[in-house]
Structure 1
Amino acid sequence: MIHYQNILTGRYDFDLNETINESDWENITQDEPIDLVNIDDRDLPNYGSPSASDSDDFPNAEESGDNVSFEASSSDDDFLMPNRSPRPMSMSPFHNHEILIWIISKIVQISLAIHMMNIHHNLQRAVKLLHLKIAREYIVIKSTKKSWRLVCRRVEQGCRFRLTSFNDKHTNMWKVGRYIKEHICDMGMCRDGHFNLDVEIIANVLRVDIEKTPRRKAYLGRKRAFEKVYGTWEGSFAELPSFMEALKHFNPETIVEWKIERRVDVIEDVFNYVFWTFKPCIDGFVFCHPIITIDGTHVYGKYDIKLLIAIVTYSNRSILPLAFAIVVNESMKTWSLFLDHLHLHVVKGRRGVALISDRHHGILSFVYNSSNWQVPFGFHRFCLRHLKANFPKIFKNVTLNNLLWAAANHC
């Protein structure tokens, strides 16, 4: 910790851009506070020493009218100017020493705050690794700057596992309070993987091997591993018809609608659109509120395709999915196909159905030109969440944005 000792003892030959190693923190603890005021004289910077001709009693400069002569030290070579006498010992390169001390104290405070964050992160990582090792899962029920609480994910089975940690205000250290470490729950089958296994843990495991491998080989190796586990993107599209046939086989009366494109320059059919809805969803719509919400989202991967979905709610405010579609893009053509199939196979001529959506131009263009979604057969309204998200783009006022949401909730 030589660098910080130089700062705190008054030596000014430091570099604020220097990075701090984790090992440096081992020399700074809360049990040994650093006094910024009580500084030993031998640690003060050397700006010159008295010449041999001067006695111990220095003359008063104001009385004699002459400057006291000093021999410049080697550290002052860069500061000497031609035809100028060396500066007196009372001169300091900083005009205000108190400002410098304040800056140094702020640097130490920020550094200690970062250190506390690292300690909290290490605690979270240790708990996560422990639960991966013992094949148990937990959920965080409280996470603030002052406390961190978690319980077993299967607490409904009577598992009493608890862990509470807090930031001690006296020592400014994270401490473990209540801790019941025994899990009595049954993990069962983890089909979706461990709940607490995140990307950061996986990255740390793979990092050691990746660092030893050339970058291109590591990238191609990762790609090949994904293809062996999940298949290729082209293979997934090729298997899509078989997948839909399996849905229809194991879910009788499931409806599937295709839209493909035939090109002269391509041997295979080009995929554009597939729509499907399950028979239980069609039958359940009769008992739900006549309010359908539609939206689209990205399907991230090699191809920028979209997933369209229609949902409805019923009396206990739960969600029932009605229909799905995978399309090449969101446009008037794809939204027209989706809404036509939705009305044909799910709505089936039911009157008074309200359609809620965002202001996508494809949806607006079709709805305004389709009698199926106009009065008296249907109604079209806008999604309030999308309106609230886009409201600040024109009206940059937080109060108005909150009033918009409050007004809509009271309608």
Structure 2
Amino acid sequence: MGFYSDETSRELTQEVSWHSRDTSIATISEVGVVVGVGVGNSTITAVKDGVMSNEGRLTVTTATLESIQITPAVVSFAKGNSQQYTAMGFYSDETSRELTQEVSWHSRDTSIATISEVGVVVGVGVGNSTITAVKDGGVSNRANLIVSEAVLESIIISPINASIIKGSILQHAATGIYSDGASQDLTQEVSWRSSDTSIATISEAGVAVGVGVGSSIINAVKDGIISNDGRLTVIGISEPVNYFVNVKPKNTVIFVGSAQQFEAELIFDDGSKETLSNDRVIWNSSAFNIVTITNSGRANGLVNGGTRIKATLIDNVNAWGETTLSVINVQSLFAYTMNISGGNILNIGDKSGLTVNGLYSLLNNGFVDLTYSSIWTSSDPSVIRMEGPIMYAVGSGTATITASYEGRVSSGEFIVR
């Protein structure tokens, strides 16, 4: 505003010459529009006809966040799947930068979807939710999220390695694993396939029939998802045997989540015995949904229940043996004891095994074998080295061997001479 000698005044905004004392902080145009270009203070003045204005003090602060944009704007996926969101901040100085890990993320309906601090959303239910991000009081746009029913991601068939006599049958099972982690029996829903139908055929219900001698690969397909492969070996009828297969230990109990190692041996008519290596037998569990078993005879308890563990001689399927295995809840365990046979004194070079039992019932003398489910440690591996429950005496001295399982601990001291 200009003030004149006749006591009049008028606006001179577009007639004066504008000046900023520090143009690295602020610049000002011919029409008086100032722009903050740096952070700090400057003084603004105006000049006309040699007359200088008063000083206007200008403070330029850091750029302020004006809006937040999150992407993707629309997402649709199956329950159990996840999606990474990104947040971009737009500032008053016309700059922008990513704020994904600085904003607070929100899902309108956490029964449908949850979102982490770093913007990863997970579908936990079926339906719609809205995702937003907040920073410094500013709220982003709303991103629409649609979570559909869980989808099939993989198929697991069992058994994965089996042997039958020509003309006999074997039931296969298929389990579907879904995007939300759930599993479902799909035995009657998949399409079963045999790679060589001259060796084995398989029905719509997963029943394989041995029609020729040799091996075929069995798998299953549903919704374009192909299962793992299972090898089925068909063997001709063998000669009568003068031996039988014995599986040990007999009729054992383990806890859910623990394991049991089985061994197989041949017992001949004359009473002699031969331990079978794992490449000579096929291990099977009658209930794979309760207990799985590896090619090396290690069984793992999945849920409460029981199964039959069977070992079949590969070169003569007429020779087989089996035992029972029960799976119970670990909450039943109230005693845990290491068992030492052969004494506590070893000689260098000796090899000795330890076992550990849990007691879960006093009424029926209920013991459970925890040998292969426990963690075994040696206080001095230079004296005794542990490989699972097996002790190897490698140097003279004293060592304490400790077994532990689910917070239970049992130990013993050994001397190596």
Q: TM-score range by the shorter chain?
A: under 0.3
Higher-Rg structure is 2
| TM-score normalised by length of structure 1 | 0.21
Structure number with the higher helix fraction is 1
Higher relative contact order (CA 8 A, sep 6+): 2
| TM-score normalised by length of structure 2 | 0.21
